Amino acid sequence: MKQRISIFLKRTAQPEFKANIAASAKILRDVELVLFVGIGSSGIIAEYGALYFSSLFTLALHIENPLNHPFYHLSNKISDKICMVAISVSGENEDIIKYIHQLKTQKCKIITITNSAKSTMAKLSDANIPYYINKEMYQDADITSQLPALYTVECIAREIRTQLDQEE
């Protein structure tokens, strides 16, 4: 595990990771509401992301259960000011994919943090930050480290805060 995390952390210094962070920050700077969504342990990171973003630059909310929070009737006045950050190791959660489709029809922006840029969620998003770490299972439980997702959430928020501070 330690070696996998070490490899991920080395990858964060590469231009591609930094470019993905910058692209995500550019999208997020122009929105007024950020919605974080994830299921299972990714949901816990999404909840943390909402708290962290709200502390640093804009209102962010955690959607615990996307199926109970449909966005069929968003006003055109606000839909383009919303961005959803979806966090998923597999990038294949059907409930979140449906949610992404729903929000995209409303012209909301979508950022995904996934383990692969080839996942369905990554392909549907306006920006994706893949972290490429080996998936780990113990019996039937997915115990893949969430450190890359957590690190990525913090990197995006700090990048936005840095950009905003430079403008002041």
Q: What is the pLDDT of residues 108-151, one digit of tens each?
A: 999 999 999 999 999 999 999 999 888 888 999 888 889 999 99
Q: What is the pLDDT of residues 56-79, one digit of tens each?
A: 888 999 998 877 766 667 777 888
As a whole number, the mean pLDDT across the chain is: 90
* Domain total of the chain: 1
Paired sense of beta strands 109-114 and 127-130, if any: parallel
The backbone region for 119, taken as left when phi is positive above 0, alpha when psi lies in -120 to 50, beta otherwise, is beta
Q: What is the pLDDT of residues 77-95, one digit of tens each?
A: 888 899 999 999 999 999 9
Rounded to the nearest 5°, which phi and psi values hold at 137?
A: -125, 145
Angle at CA of residue 75, ends 71 and 78, nearest 5°: 95
Mean pLDDT to the nearest integer, 158-165:
90
Query: What is the model's pLDDT at position 1?
Result: 57
Rounded to whole angstroms, the Cα distance separating 160 from 168 reads 13
Range of the domain at 88: 2-167
Query: What is the model's pLDDT at position 142?
Result: 84
pLDDT of residue 39 exceeding 80, the answer is yes
Q: Which of 44, 42, 63, 10 is nearest to 135 (CA)?
A: 42
Rounded to the nearest 5°, which phi and psi values hold at 37?
A: -140, 145
Burial status of residue 111 (CB atoms within 10 A of its CB: 0-12, 13-18, 19 or more) = buried
Mean pLDDT to the nearest integer, 30-56:
95
**pLDDT level of residue 24 (50, 70, 90 thresholds):** very high
State pTM to two decimals: 0.93
- Residue 148 is part of a domain; what is its CATH number? 3.40.50.10490
Token readout for 64 is 């615990």
Token readout for 67 is 């199926």
